[in-house]
Amino acid sequence: MRTLNIAGSTFSIAIIAALLSACGQGPSEPAAPANDVNGLKTPAAFADIADDADRAAALFGEMSKVMLHPRCANCHPREGGPTQGDDMHPHSPPVVRGFGMGAAGMECSTCHGPANFAFASMEGSIPGAVPWMLAPQSMGWVGATPAEICAQIKDTERNGGRTLDDLVFHNSEDHLVNWAWHPGEGRAPAPGDQETFGALTAAWAQAGAHCPAG
Ligand code: HEC
Ligand code: HEC
């Protein structure tokens, strides 16, 4: 028995040694989590800010890079109707807010279908998703500072009655948020990806959802 045991353990040591050498001589430390995805920092990039309030404020600053990007901001104006393009020019043809769906007879869905639709004759596309509509005025943030946007999206009077969990869910799963990373031909996507944006929102909420100063 004794001999067998020794033989057994020698055998496992041999296997472990073989496995280790199969992994090469390189460093065996696990890879550090990514700090950046397509120009958007991940929560890992903020992990060393010990103070919760400071970390939450920094996380929100990063989130606002997405929210103020034209792919989101074109649908989140405070005044007037939707805007278009990276320069955020007024929507052409002119459309009005209506109840967010556009005016009767000129609803957003008259032109915006269930998916992006490439122009046949020229470059570009008509964006699409169901439903395609303008964010309510109380959820507009064009021209607002990150501090103001932060206060506003936490305010249940203005954010559609959402809890912090609802906001995390919205940013992680909503189809119009998702569109910003799949905006169709002729349009640059928002920085990062929806997964990273959702993770930033979750980390911000977990750190107490404090807002940046200003
Ligand atoms: C008469 C047709 C029509 C109607 C109605 C219409 N749109 Fe558009 N919309 C377009 C076209 C076409 C484009 C693409 C323009 C381009 O990129 O050259 C566009 C682009 C946009 C964009 C730009 C996306 C970006 O980031 O560049 C937004 C936002 C938008 N529409 C929102 C709306 C909303 C909200 C409504 C309803 C209130 C609406 N549209 C109604 C035709 C329409
Ligand atoms: C096509 C227009 C459209 C686009 C593009 C869009 N949104 Fe929205 N957004 C809306 C509408 C409409 C609502 C309201 C939905 C509701 O209350 O059910 C909304 C609500 C929200 C809310 C809810 C809370 C609040 O107070 O605003 C957040 C957060 C939000 N959007 C973030 C974003 C972000 C971030 C992006 C880009 C990554 C984005 N949205 C892109 C139309 C849009």
Between the alpha carbon of residue 175 and those of residues 46, 93, 169, 183, the distances in Å are: 27, 24, 11, 12
Ligand 2: centre distance to CA 87 (Å): 19
Pocket test for ligand 1, best of 66, 72, 109, 126 (most atoms within 8 A of CB): 126
- The rounded average pLDDT for each run of 10 residues, N- to C-terminus, in the chain (214 residues) is 45 49 56 90 97 98 98 96 96 84 78 93 91 94 97 97 98 98 97 98 98 92
Decide whether any atom of ligand 2 lies within 6 Å of the 40 Cβ: no
**Which residue has its alpha carbon closest to ligand 2 atom 37?**
72
∠ Cα 182 183 189 (to 5°): 80
Residue type, 126: I
- What pLDDT does 104 receive? 67
Q: CA-to-CA distance for 211 and 55, rounded, in angstroms? A: 10
What is the reported pLDDT for 38?
A: 96
Biggest CA pair distance of the chain? 89
Task: State the pLDDT at residue 170.
Answer: 98
For residue 37, with 0-12 CB atoms within 10 Å meaning exposed, 13-18 middle and 19 or more buried, which class applies? middle
pLDDT for 7:
45
76 alpha carbon to ligand 2 midpoint, in Å?
7
